[in-house]
Amino acid sequence: MRKNIFLFLFGVFLIPLASCNNTEKDFSENLFENDIRIRIDTLATGLQNPWGLEFLPDGRILIAERPGRLRIFQDGQLLPAAVEGLPAIWAHGQGGLLDVVMHPDYQSNQWLYLAYAAPGPGGGNTTIGRGRLEGNQWVDFQQIFQGQPLTSSGAHFGSRIVFDNDNYLFTTIGDRGVMQSSQDLSNHNGTVIRLYDDGSIPADNPFVGTPGARPEIWSYGHRNIQGMVFHPQTGDLWTHEHGPRGGDEINVIFKGANYGWPRVTHGVNYSGTTITPDTTLAGMVDPILHWTPSIAPCGLEIVTSNRYGSWQGNLLVGALAGQHIHRVVLEGRQVVHTEKLLEGFARFRAVRQGPDGLLYVLTESPGMMIRLMPEE
């Protein structure tokens, strides 16, 4: 049974920037006067570590659960049986089934893409595979990419998948718990990856032909990206990534750029010791926004719908440790305002705008899919 919760998103959800420590800019709490009344429509409960969701043209919604299950939400109900025939998924530490995305030309080719941890000799790593869905069965599976090296670590797999307007596939891999590997182009750790839709490597990738470098790499120096989206107007690729103890970041991703981890960070080790004294260095890209203390960002969307008033054009960031949705208001690539929405409601794992223009959200603890319904 669906449950409806009414919330007014104003007042207590606005945060003074002195408590956020995420930029030197002067933000105004009073910048927005048109408050939005939201009804939370609970669509599905009982999910286990839901990570990603995708909206199929026939109205079905696919939900990826990290333990390795792909679920179908159809006709207002979460179907009890998971999709059968998925590839072997390594549900290990932070790894498992992490994202599901359809090809931009899905109507003609029916390809669906999974980001997941796959096992192999010595452990496993983040992997991209594609297949088709026939009823409740996964068919025509192809593994098109696996990050190297394979390792037994259970940390920092990423991962999200997005396609750009030219049908290039972008995905992410975390540093796999080995900080310095993010600065080493001979492995895929701590990178954004760019591929053709069949997994082949574009010849204009920045490190094609560089001795010792992995040619799939698009950018590097990342810690653990778990949110990624293309801006529909500018074409910018926006990401956010986990810092250690503080130092979570939002970035715009540029071809071949180094984002600094762990040579620069606003965070410290979990023990409180210093990782580096540097928060900026020449030749490395500074974050657009950073959070200290950490909010543990996961899931990222740009609101294009006109159903949410002044939210249109904003970034929405799910927060795990912070247990809220972080609204980030932009002017170009500059942040002009932030606020917390639904603070304390749950650990937010994914935020996606559906084809109906409404916002769908995955939470864990408890595991739910909810829909944010604006009251007009």
Backbone angles phi, psi at 180, to 5 degrees: -65, -15
- Predicted TM-score (pTM) of this structure: 0.92
| Residues whose CB is less than 8 angstroms from the CB of residue 200 and which lie 6 or more positions away in sequence, other chains included | none
Phi, psi at residue 12, to the nearest 5°? Answer: -65, -15
Cα separation, 302 vs 238, in Å, equals 9
- Report pLDDT digits (tens) over 238-288: 999 999 999 999 999 999 999 999 999 999 999 999 999 999 999 999 999
| Model pLDDT for residues 135-194, shown as the tens digit of each residue | 999 999 999 999 999 999 999 999 999 999 999 999 999 999 999 999 999 999 999 999
The whole-angstrom separation of Cα 103 and Cα 327 is 28
Q: What is the CATH number of the domain that holds 178?
A: 2.120.10.30
Among 92, 156, 242, 337, the active-site one is: 156
Identify the residue whose tokens are 């935020």.
351
Q: State how far the Cα of 132 lies from the Cα of 112, in Å rounded to an integer.
A: 6
Is 103 one of the annotated active-site residues of the chain? no
Chain segment 297-352, per-residue pLDDT in tens = 999 999 999 999 999 999 999 999 999 999 999 999 999 999 999 999 999 999 99
Q: Please give the pLDDT value at position 375.
A: 83
Question: Domain count of the chain?
Answer: 1
CA-to-CA distance for 249 and 106, rounded, in angstroms?
32
pLDDT, the chain, mean: 92
- How many C-alpha atoms does 335 have within 13 Å on its Cβ side? 25
Residue scoring higher pLDDT (34 or 199): 199
DSSP 83: P
> In this predicted structure, what is the pLDDT of residue 144?
98
Task: Tell whether the model's pLDDT for residue 28 goes beyond 50.
Answer: no
Instruction: With H, G, I as helix, E, B as strand and everything else as coil, classify residue 229.
Output: strand
Amino acid, single-letter form, for residue 170: F
Tokens of residue 14, six digits? 């606005």
What does the alpha-carbon distance between residue 5 and residue 282 come to, in Å, rounded to a whole number?
49
Nearest to 121 by CA among 151, 143, 98, 141: 151
Per-residue confidence band for 365, with pLDDT thresholds at 50, 70 and 90: confident
Q: How far is CA 60 from CA 78, 104, 299, 331, in A?
A: 10, 16, 20, 35
Least confident of 9-18, 30-39, 347-356: 9-18
Cα end-to-end distance, the chain, whole Å: 24
Contact criterion met (CB below 8 Å) for 246 and 223: no
Query: Is 14's pLDDT higher than 70?
Result: no
Q: Which domain holds residue 30?
A: 4-374
| Minimum mean pLDDT range among 112-126, 134-148, 315-329, 362-376 | 362-376
Percent of the chain with pLDDT over 70: 90
> 237: which residues sit within 8 A by CB, 6+ positions away?
162, 164, 170, 192, 228, 229, 230, 231, 252, 253
Peptide bond into 232 cis (omega under 30): no
